[in-house]
Amino acid sequence: MRPNPLPYRWTLTSLVLTALLCSGCPRVLYLDYQPSTSIKGSGAVRVDPFLYAGHPTGLMKQKELESSAQNAEALYLSQDIGEFFTGALKRELAVAGYELKPDAGRIVSGTIEHFFLDYVGENEQRFQIRATFQVALKEAPAFSSSCRSDRQQVRDWMKSGLLIERGVRDCLDEFLYHAQTAGSL
């Protein structure tokens, strides 16, 4: 008696179909930013949403990371890049000792000009961020600052989220330092 090959064909067909579907799918990163600033401060602060300027052509979606034309894989955050960045800043300010209030006299806002993840050579990946901050004060002139970070690590798509979080943390630490030095925070 000959075994029925039909169940094995269905299994093989479903495995091949799954592999084909997954190979062309964009990746989505779910980031859980953990604040770690050593800067301490106090007072009430309001943080307005940061705008993501995106790719210079303006055609990129608000969740899609910029990348070079060589990288055919689309990579998305699970939330808008501006929302992620705003949330990370709020967490850093809270850990630093600031009180987040919607009616505060100090208002922090800004723009993310560059949020870029790419591969360098065959074994490295790079994350770059560039952002501009404004701190509006009722009784004083507005403060403006910018930050940038350029981080590189061994190419490991499983650790892309950690690379992005480290770059964002560098940028936020730079802003907090400059804002406190100027007396705006």
Asked whether 51 and 82 are in contact (CB, 8 A), the reply is yes
pLDDT in tens, 149-182: 999 888 776 678 899 999 999 999 999 999 999 9
pLDDT at residue number 57? 57
Reduced to 3 states (helix: H, G, I; strand: E, B; else coil), residue 125 is strand
pLDDT in tens, 20-57: 344 445 678 888 999 999 999 999 999 999 999 876 55
Q: What residues contact residue 89 under an 8 Å CB cut-off, 6+ apart?
A: 47, 50, 108, 172, 175
Q: Residue 18: pLDDT above 50?
A: no
Q: Which residue reads 């210079």 in tokens? A: 56
Strands (E), the chain: 27-29, 44-47, 51-52, 75-77, 99-100, 107-120, 124-136, 143-154
pLDDT at residue number 138? 79
Question: How do strand 124-136 and strand 27-29 relate by DSSP bridges?
Answer: unpaired
Distance CA 149, CA 79 (A): 21
Q: Compute the average pLDDT of residues 80-108.
A: 96
Q: How far is CA 77 from CA 12, 83, 115, 148, in A?
A: 33, 10, 11, 20
Task: Provide the residue type at 56 as one letter.
Answer: P
Q: Domain extents for the chain?
A: 28-181
Enter the pTM of the model. 0.81
CATH architecture of 28-181: 3-Layer(aba) Sandwich (3.40)
